[in-house]
Amino acid sequence: MKPFYLLVFAFLFVLLNLSITLAATTQVNPNADTQIYQGSPDTTYGTQNISTSVRAVFFAGAGYTRGLLNFTLNSTNLGTITSIKLYIRNGGVYASGEWMSVHRLMNISTSFIETKTTWNVYGNSDGTNGTWKIVGGDFNATIIDTHKAVSGAWENFTLMGDGADVNWALTWGDNVQILLNATNTTGDGLGAGYYSREGADNYAP
């Protein structure tokens, strides 16, 4: 089982003796995942081999830790996409009852580089660093979907289709850049940690 993956639901139109519509599901695994930490803004966490190396937490006095994920929807045309869900394995909750939110990362045209991405900068695929327009992930404040954090559970967020708070219009060939954020900032240590693709073998991509 993968620690992160997208399930993409599409309709395929097949010509037999008549036109029929079949539903198809495609699993997409991440190209990159990491976390960025406001309390250590120049540190990269991209290759940590621990179960909760993608965290989304708010610490009073130290600020946010946010999770970043990148997926690419293969350009192969499998029909019209009708629904996309993010499935993510929770490795531990820092405070019970915490809610997590998913946002769109902005202003990155290609996948970020795990080993170069920090709170202050992101790594480009050509090896250079780009500066966030707004440090801390430069994300769209509009929440795509929310989910209550449950320790040890597979959580799912709807990015596109029925169930999304705000529908994210995606199609084949798109680069899907996701920021995972803790929604509650009124306490200390509120959030959760999630398995990365470098995590335990039984959850690794």
Token pair listed for 76 = 């192969």
Strand partners, 84: 8, 160
pLDDT averaged over every residue in the chain: 76
Instruction: Give 154-198 pLDDT, tens digit per residue.
Output: 888 888 888 888 888 888 888 888 898 888 766 666 788 888 877
Q: In this structure, are residues 205 and 196 in contact, taking their beta carbons and an 8 Å threshold?
A: no
> What are the backbone angles phi and psi of residue 57, rounded to the nearest 5°?
-140, 150
Q: Which residues make Cβ contacts (< 8 Å) with residue 62, sequence separation at least 6?
A: 38, 39
Residue 32 forms beta bridges with which residues?
A: 70
Distance from the Cα of residue 105 to its chain's centroid: 9
pTM of the complete model beyond 0.75: yes
What are the pLDDT digits (tens) for 5-59?
A: 555 565 543 333 332 334 577 888 888 888 888 889 999 887 665 545 577 776 7
